[in-house]
């Protein structure tokens, strides 16, 4: 089961839920995909964005790197033969997590139709007076030796004036496969961009149709470096696979426990790589030590800015996320300069905790209050501190004012309810719950003098570890498999919660917590 854990941006909170070989496209010219063999001309000011790990439909993504309201290009491939004999067949489509929308389209036209009409149709289904854009008949154009279909659509929302989109799309197919070449832009840029979009679409060539050679194979080792060559690197096969899949201007840094994939400035990437190792050794492992050394390499991806972060596939409104489904920690460079800033580093601290605790609990997840509360707790490790003894910011820059205000007005969630919330319940009141989760974790670790209360996090963690270890089942290859949330995973979490809070009056706990927020925090 996929799990996603997010850092939300404030004050606006939107609850949305934080790869193919080829040359850099930032310099323009012809891009040749070496896996599928297609080629296309890309503009000089366009940069390539990686596709999500495990993606089976999108086989190429680019965006206009020079504009904030950027235009994008997506290339999708659909096999027309049996799924078991050709990559990208319908049986290979990734699972769609519950609540993440309809099943993935299985043809080029259906994908295009959903991209154009899907948002409006969802709004109509919610009772909003939206006009669903129509799709006009296509024009026939030559794309090499094969004729293709060319579509052009504009849409302006009737509900939110000023919002809209425009698309220019090409669909081309042969006996074995079909491709969608989909350009998208704000409507106010379409008139200027349409001639170039059409020129690019008409330059598309299928494999074997006079595709130009794009030169020598890219040497992945030249795209990065090892942070400290004296340390042994874990999980070499995983690292090599990731390096071979780097696209565009993306680079990597190897550290003993991590591979940092980045498209930001080199100094920030080096700082992030060093910081991941620092937090792993001095924070996460010291507070919540694993049962045995974690031998899997952890993946961190740093996008150069928010536009690229969203184009990669991040939920709108988030500032970072860790996904067990894609096995990546992803966040953007939020700094306005080339120096590390408290928000970028804080988001990294937060998401790296989600990533670490997933592996420390044998690839399972703790309750949401624990996961988000301690992620926010580690957010506040002073980003200028490198000592073995953690130094914390006393006031969380995004949470402190909320928790102080709610404590003063009696608006905090009772702790007996907070510790039993589901992920959906927690995210539905994200601003309050994230703030209270941070305050509760910080209070347990650094404020309360009650020794029994201070034992709650460690008892909770130890009981989860023991429960998940006892419940593991061997897979077909004999390797032990994580059990996930349900059905046994839920019982492990409930049992650990009962043990951690055993003998504690939860109403009194809440009263003392609120009183200390007012007086000591």
Residue 92, pLDDT score: 43
Cβ-based neighbours of 339, under 8 Å, separated by 6 or more: 267, 268
pLDDT for residue 478: 55
Paired tokens of 403:
């928790």
In a domain, 218, yes or no: no
In this structure, the answer to whether residues 471 and 437 fall within a common structural domain is yes
Q: Which domain holds residue 400?
A: 365-521
| Residues 17, 65 within the same domain | no
Q: Is the pLDDT of residue 23 over 50?
A: no
Given 320, 343, 360, the domain boundary residue is: 360
In a domain, 249, yes or no: yes
Q: What is the mean pLDDT of the chain?
A: 85
**With the C-alpha atoms ordered 208, 210, 211, 217, is the resulting torsion angle positive or negative?**
positive
Q: 348 near 320, Cβ under 8 Å?
A: yes
Gap between the Cα atoms of 370 and 446, Å rounded: 16
Q: Of residues 513 and 472, which shows the higher confidence score?
A: 513
**CA proximity to 467, closest of 362, 368, 370:** 362
- CA 348, 419, 14, 132: dihedral to nearest 10 degrees? 130
324 and 187 within one domain: no
Candidate from 191-200, 219-228, 501-510 with smallest mean pLDDT: 219-228
Q: pTM higher than 0.75 for the full model?
A: yes
- Nearest to 396, CA basis, from 453, 444, 427, 441: 441
**Assigned domain for 221 exists:** no
Look at phi and psi of residue 105 and say left if phi exceeds 0, alpha if psi is from -120 to 50, else beta: beta
Q: Is the dihedral of CA 325, 327, 329, 332 positive or negative?
A: negative
Q: What pLDDT sits at residue 5? A: 64
Q: What is the pLDDT of residues 172-189, one digit of tens each?
A: 999 899 999 999 998 888
DSSP structure class, residue 223: G
Shared domain check, 284 and 393: no
Asked whether residue 326 is domain-assigned, the answer is yes
Read off φ and ψ for residue 95, nearest 5 degrees.
Answer: -65, 140
Domain total of the chain: 3
Among 177, 202, 227, identify where a domain stops. Answer: 202
Predicted local distance difference test score (pLDDT) of residue 27: 43
- DSSP, residue by residue, 448-498: ---HHHHTHHHHHHHHHHHHHHHH-EE-TTS-EE---STTHHHHHHHHHHH
Query: Are 93 and 189 found together in one domain?
Result: yes
Question: Based on the domain organization, do 174 and 272 belong to the same domain?
Answer: no
pLDDT tens per residue across span 415-472? 999 999 999 999 999 999 999 999 999 999 999 999 999 999 999 999 999 999 988 7
Q: Summarize pLDDT for 291-301 with one digit per residue, the tens.
A: 999 999 999 99
Per-residue pLDDT for 13 more than 90?
no
Whether residue 213 lies inside any domain: the answer is no
Instruction: Show which of 150, 177, 202 is a domain's final residue.
Output: 202
288 and 166 in a single domain? The answer is: no
165 and 278: one domain? no
Q: Is 290 helix (H, G, I), strand (E, B) or coil?
A: coil
Tell which residue, 224, 275, 280, 288, has the closest CA to residue 257.
280
């Amino acid at each position: 089961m996929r799990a996603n854990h997010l850092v939300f941006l404030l004050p606006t909170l939107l609850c949305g839920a934080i790869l193919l070989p080829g040359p850099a496209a930032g310099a323009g010219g012809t891009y040749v995909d070496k896996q599928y063999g297609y080629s296309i001309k890309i503009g000089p000011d366009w940069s390539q964005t990686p596709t999500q790990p495990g993606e089976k439909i999108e086989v190429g993504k680019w965006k206009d790197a020079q504009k904030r309201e950027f235009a994008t290009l997506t290339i999708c491939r659909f096999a027309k033969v049996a799924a078991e004999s050709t990559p990208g067949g319908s049986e290979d489509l990734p699972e769609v997590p519950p609540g993440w929308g309809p099943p993935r389209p299985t043809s080029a036209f259906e994908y295009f139709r959903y991209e154009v009409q899907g948002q409006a149709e969802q709004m109509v289904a919610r009772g909003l007076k939206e006009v669903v854009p129509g799709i006009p008949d296509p024009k026939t154009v030559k794309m090499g030796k094969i004729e293709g279909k060319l579509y052009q659509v504009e849409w302006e929302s009737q509900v939110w004036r000023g919002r809209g989109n425009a698309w220019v799309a090409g669909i081309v197919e042969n006996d074995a496969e079909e491709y969608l070449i989909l350009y998208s832009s704000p409507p106010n840029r379409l008139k200027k961009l349409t001639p170039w979009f059409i020129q690019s679409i008409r330059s598309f060539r299928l494999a074997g149709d006079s595709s130009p050679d794009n030169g020598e194979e890219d040497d992945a080792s030249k795209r990065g470096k090892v942070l400290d060559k004296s340390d042994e690197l874990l999980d070499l096969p995983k690292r090599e696979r990731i390096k071979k899949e780097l696209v565009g201007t993306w680079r990597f840094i190897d550290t003993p426990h991590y591979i940092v994939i980045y498209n930001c400035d080199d100094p920030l990437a080096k700082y992030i790589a060093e910081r991941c190792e620092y937090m792993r050794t001095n924070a996460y492992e010291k507070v919540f030590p694993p049962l045995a050394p974690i031998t899997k390499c952890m993946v961190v991806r740093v996008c150069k800015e928010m536009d690229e972060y969203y184009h990669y596939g991040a939920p709108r409104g988030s500032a970072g996320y860790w996904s067990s489904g894609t096995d990546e920690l992803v966040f953007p460079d939020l700094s306005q300069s080339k120096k590390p800033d408290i928000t970028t580093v804080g988001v990294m601290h937060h998401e790296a905790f989600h990533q670490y605790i997933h592996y420390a609990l044998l690839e399972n997840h703790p309750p949401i209050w624990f996961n988000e509360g301690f992620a926010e707790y580690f957010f506040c490790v002073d980003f200028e501190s490198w000592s073995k003894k953690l130094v914390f910011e006393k006031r969380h820059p995004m949470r402190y004012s909320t928790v102080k205000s709610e404590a003063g007005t009696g608006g905090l969630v009772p702790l007996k309810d907070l510790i039993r919330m589901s992920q959906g319940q927690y995210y539905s009141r994200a601003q309050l719950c994230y703030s209270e989760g941070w305050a509760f974790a910080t209070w347990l670790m650094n404020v309360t003098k009650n020794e029994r209360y201070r034992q709650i996090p460690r008892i909770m963690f130890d009981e989860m570890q023991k429960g998940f270890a006892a419940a593991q089942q061997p897979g077909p290859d004999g390797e032990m498999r994580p059990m996930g949330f349900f059905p046994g995973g839920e019982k492990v979490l409930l049992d650990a919660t009962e043990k951690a809070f055993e003998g504690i009056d939860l109403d009194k706990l809440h009263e003392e917590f609120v009183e200390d927020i007012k007086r000591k925090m």
